[in-house]
Amino acid sequence: MSRYLTGRIGQAIVVVWAAFTLAFIILYLMPSDPAQIIASGGLQGDAGSEASEQQLDELRAQMGLDQPVVVQYVTRLIDTATGNWGTSYQTGRPVTEMLADNLPPTFAIAVQGLLIAVVVGMLLGFVATYTRFGPLRQLLYSLPSVGASIPTFWSALLLIQVFSFSLRLLPAFGNDGWTSTILPAIALAIPVSAIIAQVFGKSLRTMMAEPFLDTARAKGASRLRAMAVHAARNALLPVLTMVGMLLGALLSGAVVIETVFGRQGFGRMTVEAVNAQDIPVVMGVVVFSAIVFVVATLVVDLLYPLLDPRIRQTLRPPRRLLVKAA
Amino acid sequence: MITSSLLSVRDLRISYTSRGVIREAVHGVSFDIAAGEVVAIVGESGSGKTTVAQSLIGMLAHNGAITGGSIEFDGLNVTRFGDRAWRGLRGESIGLVPQDPTVSLNPVMKIGSQVAEPLRIHRNMSKSDAAQEAVRILREAGLSDPEARAEQYPHQLSGGMRQRVLIGMALACTPRLVIADEPTSALDVTVQRHILDHIDELISVHDTAMLLITHDLAVAADRAQRLIVMSRGEIVEEGRADDILSRPGHPYTQKLLAAAPSLSTPSVRRPPVLAEGSSADDRVVRLEHVTKQFALPAGGTLTAVDDVSLDIRRGETLGVVGESGSGKSTLARIVLQLEKQTSGEVFIDGERMSEQGTRGLRALRRRMQVVYQNPYASLDPRYTVSAIIEEPLRAFRVGSRRDQRTRVVELLDRVSLPADTARRRAEELSGGQRQRVAIARALALSPELLVCDEPTSALDVSVQAQVLDLLTELQQDLGVTMLFISHDLAVVRQLSHRVAVMQFGVLRELGEVEQIFSDPTHPYTRELLAAIPGKELVA
């Protein structure tokens, strides 16, 4: 088990490193001059205060931008590994500090969104498989594909329209209190729950055709009991795999959602950093996202054996790297 | 008569609906089972035997329905029972032992909880009482150390142990009727015998009636007092087991009986070996101290083949018998050099395989062909038959397109398939036809050695008999040498000149077929022979 864990953590580090390197290459190739950006106080800075070529050179030397690429890469890599993630060109604040400020509000809506998605998605999948009433079954089967294809910004606007403007139940914008997290969380949850409903429903239906379900029915178990006790736990495994990957959907969803709801958070910060070509912040976002992915996949893999005793015996690092996180 | 019967089926008709088309699968079947009686329904695939069994426990597939007749169980007319009413009977008054123990237990639930489930459902037992009772049931089902077993998961138990668990589960509430649907066809013969013995014992103790569903006439005759023979949804014959075996009345029963390898007199299928003697040239295959080890995922190694030396003479059939895990399939793969031996030497036609490069091996592949167990898996369902048979010819660039076409027609004729089969797709063919196509493909390159890995175990007995006849005929006409792998001693006996018995990767015994069957020297061979169902009936 500990050997398995060491192997997996080793893989996780490789994935994060690969994400870092890829981001470095792309950002380095970008036709922009960080010194220019800083000197003009970000892109929003007034164009009047043009810095002289000499000032720019000083800035470049100060930031190590005049060094060869390899040296820059190694310096950055070591800095990142040791927790020095640089300072934002825009705000001049350390990137780690900005992350610490912007993560909690995003975390709040992402966790709520995931919870809602898991509960609603599994409920939908279960009822769709359980019901034998044709029209309801058809409706429940088609809901997920509708949910998955609605653009998030549109469902967000719809939610605001109904719950904030018409019913006046919940605030439409901002970061004030827990009530302001409900609508963004629901908007985030819609596509994710749709995917969970599809995967769980499909996997339940597969399980219902397994011979061991017949065994359960032959014991006198009701359809509900057979499904809830025997099929559901087996059908949970693919869902668990999905949840790890769906974190990505939640993070990228946050970008849109936070913009629509005018919330401060990780997504908003990412958008602003990209627009301003704030390279240290963008790098921070990439590396942080990679870490989130890698940790989520690891947690999911460690949960597997708890759900499936067959895996407990054969725990060992998989041969291939998990590329999905990168 | 009717009053004393536990189960009474009258003119039962069952239909399936698929894509709006209604097809009747059971056409008016009537029979009775008395309390404590053991009755077997025998039939091949498509006979409707499993459909009848499913209807007796209210578990027809969702597109199936009883369209006529009646089922009366223990004085209750259950023909129109709904799911709720059936639930009261299932597990309580009627138990089911399913076919394949490897997939019939919930993989993520402890054995004990699964056995306790019927008690929790029907007896309203508390969790701890049911758990205690489950341990008692497991002990009664013949499992050693039942307390520990109850805490284990299905994958930690062997197939035989799992079937014992399922039997215990079916009998947990001491039902009045047990339906056993091919309860041992997925198990090795020696295990099969122990399991069937145990069911016999348990049901006689509790005076439970049993309906045994099987394709195996020998198993049915061994275990049941009364046989019902079904074909194409109808009962063709019914009577006392020994009467039916000694005086089969219906032509279908006669055909089944003739095709059942263990019940028919040892035959006849062997052509004489073309090349006698043991000079080096006459040995197509020679294995010297061949060992194959696999690394296990949990660490350690598994020795699948352990120091095996044998040879196969030109034109002979060497039968290799063994139960699952005996290493017989690995041995076949080593002969074909699809698997490299860990140590030892393999000679094909005197050539040392360890010295062959990729090119040499490829040339040798032409001379060795293989027929696999499952014709449903070994042929691409979307390929036409001619594409399947031509493939080896194209791979080795044999002849022009026209030559290849002619060869396909020739080969189809060889395996007794009409020439127009060439244009059909594999998915349109029956199992027996598919296996003929697989044999034609293997013969396309005129190989010297044909390796048959359980070529008939996925087929019905009457089809099996035809395929075995075909293989014998081919050997007679073409002089091809055969390595014939099977778990079925009776089949091996009909076909082989010499027999190798394997257990745990070790070659236990190798000898002329008559010596192995009449005078086995190794205790394991004797155990295998004793386990063949139906042998007392012919002796």
CB-count burial class (<10 Å; 0-12, 13-18, 19+) for B291: middle
Q: Give CA angle at B255 (B250, B258), nearest 5°.
A: 125
From CA B318, how far away is CA B429, in angstroms rounded? 30
Over range A162-176, report the average pLDDT.
Answer: 81
pLDDT band, very low/low/confident/very high, at A321 (cuts 50, 70, 90): very low
Q: Do B169 and A214 touch (CB under 8 A)?
A: no
The alpha carbon dihedral of A303, A309, A312, A315 has a sign of negative
Chain B from 455 to 494: CB within 8 A of any A CB: none
pLDDT in tens, A201-220: 999 999 998 999 999 999 99
Chain A residues lying within 8 Å of B297, measured CB to CB: 314, 316
What is the count of residue pairs from A and B with beta carbons less than 8 Å apart? 83
Alpha helices per DSSP H over B90-145? 111-122, 127-140
Chain B from 237 to 276: CB within 8 A of any A CB: none
Contact between B167 and B509 (Cβ < 8 Å): no
Q: Do A220 and B83 touch (CB under 8 A)?
A: no
Domains, chain A, with CATH or none: 95-275 (1.10.3720.10)
Say yes or no: A3 contacts chain B, CB-CB below 8 A.
no
Residue of A nearest to B153 (CA): A309
The helix (H) or strand (E) run that includes residue A97 is: helix A95-130
> Which pLDDT value is given to residue B263?
61
Beta bridge partners of B503: B506
* Residue B419 CB neighbour total at 10 angstroms: 12
Chain B: give the shortest CA distance to residue A221, in Å: 7
Tell me: pLDDT of A325 over 50. no
Both tokens of B166, joined, read 């399922």
pLDDT band, very low/low/confident/very high, at A318 (cuts 50, 70, 90): very low
Residue of A nearest to B123 (CA): A220
Say yes or no: A227 contacts chain B, CB-CB below 8 A.
no
Contact between A195 and A242 (Cβ < 8 Å): yes
> Which pLDDT value is given to residue A62?
76
Among B90, B100, B109, the residue with its CB nearest the CB of A220 is: B90
> Which pLDDT value is given to residue B114?
95
Residue of B nearest to A227 (CA): B106
CA proximity to B153, closest of B117, B109, B184, B114: B109
DSSP state, residue B384: B
Contact between B496 and B298 (Cβ < 8 Å): no
Say yes or no: B298 contacts chain A, CB-CB below 8 A.
yes
Contact between B128 and B134 (Cβ < 8 Å): no
Per DSSP, the residues of B239-289 read: EEHHHHHHS--SHHHHHHHHH-TTTSPP---PPPPSS-S--GGGEEEEEEE
Chain B residues lying within 8 Å of A217, measured CB to CB: 59, 90
CA proximity to B319, closest of B71, B171, B511: B511
DSSP state, residue B11: E
From CA A218, how far away is CA A211, in angstroms rounded? 11
Residue of B nearest to A306 (CA): B108
Contact between B481 and B284 (Cβ < 8 Å): yes
What is the CA A186 to chain-centroid distance, rounded? 15
Both tokens of A127, joined, read 């009822």
Say yes or no: A309 contacts chain B, CB-CB below 8 A.
yes
Chain B residues lying within 8 Å of A223, measured CB to CB: 83
> Which pLDDT value is given to residue B421?
86
CA distances to A101, A192, A250, A295 from A265, rounded to whole Å, are 8, 20, 13, 21
Q: List all residues 6 or more positions away from B114 whose beta carbon is below 8 Å from its beta carbon.
A: B105, B106, B165, B169
The alpha carbon dihedral of A96, A102, A107, A110 has a sign of negative
Say yes or no: B107 contacts chain A, CB-CB below 8 A.
yes
Residue appearing with tokens 């990209």: A274
> Which pLDDT value is given to residue B38?
94
Say yes or no: B296 contacts chain A, CB-CB below 8 A.
no
Say yes or no: A217 contacts chain B, CB-CB below 8 A.
yes
Q: Do B87 and A222 touch (CB under 8 A)?
A: yes
Q: Do A211 and B103 touch (CB under 8 A)?
A: yes
CB-count burial class (<10 Å; 0-12, 13-18, 19+) for B347: middle
| SS3 label, residue B178 | strand
Q: Do B117 and A234 touch (CB under 8 A)?
A: no
From CA A105, how far away is CA A301, in angstroms rounded? 27
What is the CA A48 to chain-centroid distance, rounded? 40
pTM strictly above 0.80: no
Contact between B24 and B15 (Cβ < 8 Å): yes
Chain A: give the shortest CA distance to residue B96, in Å: 6
Per-residue three-class SS string for A253-283: HHHHHHHHCCCCCHHHHHHHHHHCCCHHHHH
Q: Do B121 and A219 touch (CB under 8 A)?
A: yes
Q: Do A214 and B59 touch (CB under 8 A)?
A: yes
Provide ipTM, 2 decimals: 0.76
Among B90, B108, B122, the residue with its CB nearest the CB of A218 is: B90
Chain B from 384 to 413: CB within 8 A of any A CB: none
Chain B residues lying within 8 Å of A216, measured CB to CB: 106, 117
Question: What are the pLDDT tens digits along chain B (539 aa)?
Answer: 444 789 999 999 999 988 888 889 999 999 999 999 999 999 888 888 999 999 999 999 888 999 999 999 999 999 999 889 999 999 999 999 998 888 999 999 999 999 999 999 999 899 999 999 999 999 988 888 899 999 999 988 888 889 999 999 999 999 999 999 988 877 788 888 888 888 888 888 888 999 999 988 888 888 899 999 999 899 999 999 888 888 888 999 888 888 777 665 555 566 666 555 445 568 899 999 999 988 876 667 888 899 999 999 988 999 999 888 788 889 999 999 988 999 999 999 888 888 888 888 888 888 899 998 888 888 888 889 999 999 999 998 888 889 999 999 999 988 888 888 888 888 888 888 888 899 999 999 989 999 999 888 878 888 888 888 888 888 888 889 999 998 888 888 888 999 999 998 999 999 998 899 888 999 999 988 888 877 655 54
Both tokens of B69, joined, read 């007749």
> Which pLDDT value is given to residue B452?
92
Chain A residues lying within 8 Å of B117, measured CB to CB: 216, 219, 221, 229
> Which pLDDT value is given to residue A303?
86
Rounded (10°) CA dihedral B208, B213, B215, B216:
0
From CA B271, how far away is CA B316, in angstroms rounded? 8
Chain B: give the shortest CA distance to residue A185, in Å: 33
Q: Do A219 and B118 touch (CB under 8 A)?
A: yes
From CA B146, how far away is CA B429, in angstroms rounded? 47
CB-count burial class (<10 Å; 0-12, 13-18, 19+) for B72: middle
Chain B residues lying within 8 Å of A319, measured CB to CB: none
Look at phi and psi of residue B75 and say left if phi exceeds 0, alpha if psi is from -120 to 50, else beta: left
Radius of gyration over every alpha carbon of chain B, rounded to an integer in angstroms: 25
CA distances to A167, B223, B498 from B475, rounded to whole Å, are 85, 37, 15
Say yes or no: A206 contacts chain B, CB-CB below 8 A.
no
Chain B: give the shortest CA distance to residue A5, in Å: 15
Tell me: pLDDT of A49 over 60. no
Residue of B nearest to A236 (CA): B108
From CA B111, how far away is CA A191, in angstroms rounded? 39
Say yes or no: A219 contacts chain B, CB-CB below 8 A.
yes
CA distances to B47, B214, B315, B481, B491 from B272, rounded to whole Å, are 38, 35, 8, 12, 17
> Which pLDDT value is given to residue A189?
92
Q: Do B105 and A309 touch (CB under 8 A)?
A: no
Q: Do B95 and A220 touch (CB under 8 A)?
A: no
CA proximity to B449, closest of B334, B511, B365: B365
Backbone angles phi, psi at B92, to 5 degrees: -95, -55
From CA A179, how far away is CA A177, in angstroms rounded? 6
Both tokens of B260, joined, read 């059942």
Domains, chain B, with CATH or none: 5-259 (3.40.50.300), 280-367+447-538 (3.40.50.300), 381-446 (no CATH)
Residue of B nearest to A317 (CA): B297
CA proximity to B39, closest of B178, B199, B225, B206: B225
Contact between B65 and B79 (Cβ < 8 Å): no
CA proximity to B90, closest of B55, B51, B129: B55
Sequence letter at residue A146: V
The helix (H) or strand (E) run that includes residue B167 is: helix B159-170
Tell me: pLDDT of A324 over 70. no
Chain B residues lying within 8 Å of A233, measured CB to CB: 108-109
Angle of helix A232-260 relative to helix A266-275, nearest 10 degrees, comes to: 50
- Cα distance from N-terminal residue to C-terminal residue, chain B: 34
Backbone angles phi, psi at B22, to 5 degrees: -95, 130
Both tokens of B471, joined, read 């293989």
Both tokens of B273, joined, read 């070996």
What is the CA A269 to chain-centroid distance, rounded? 15
Say yes or no: A216 contacts chain B, CB-CB below 8 A.
yes
Say yes or no: B442 contacts chain A, CB-CB below 8 A.
no
> Which pLDDT value is given to residue B271?
67
| SS3 label, residue B339 | coil
